[in-house]
Amino acid sequence: MLLLLPFALFGLAAFFHFLIFACSRALSFWVAACIAFAVQAATGSIGAAALAAAAAFLLVDTAVATGGLRLAGSRTGAVLEALVFVPAALAGWSVGALAAAWFGIEPIMPSLTAALAAGLIARHRGSARPV
């Protein structure tokens, strides 16, 4: 437990918590990054690339949330959940490996745990129903 004390004091525990929740939006981030690179290569404008990336992020995020609500319980909804789960789990794996490297422990269990947590958060975020 004393090993984790410096990380808690520096606020890195909250940083890893933030990274896991950011991983749940990995599909939106990846699509936005691809759009930003494509627009910047086509136009040469960084401002246009940033605007297109923001629009793509919001569009994909909204489409996943709406699709998760409309397609809940169907085969297409299961495919949508898998489409969201896999990139989030891959990003979560990277965050778990980073945490293991910083803590100086074997990376397999933190990576698996972070991958599962990020994937399940993303799956729940896509299929959550408003109250």
Residue 66 CB neighbours (<10 A): 11
Q: Which amino acid, 99? A: A
Banded pLDDT at 131 (limits 50, 70, 90): very low
Q: Are 85 and 123 in contact (CB under 8 A)?
A: yes
Per-residue pLDDT reduced to its tens digit, 70-117: 877 788 888 888 888 999 999 999 989 988 888 788 889 989 999 999
Tell me the two tokens of residue 128: 């959550």
- Domain chopping of the chain, boundaries: 22-127
- Cα torsion 60, 66, 71, 77 to 10°: value is 30
Q: Which amino acid, 39? A: V
Prediction pTM value: 0.76
Identify which of 23, 13, 15 has the alpha carbon closest to the alpha carbon of residue 92. 23
Where is pLDDT greater, at 130 or 16?
16
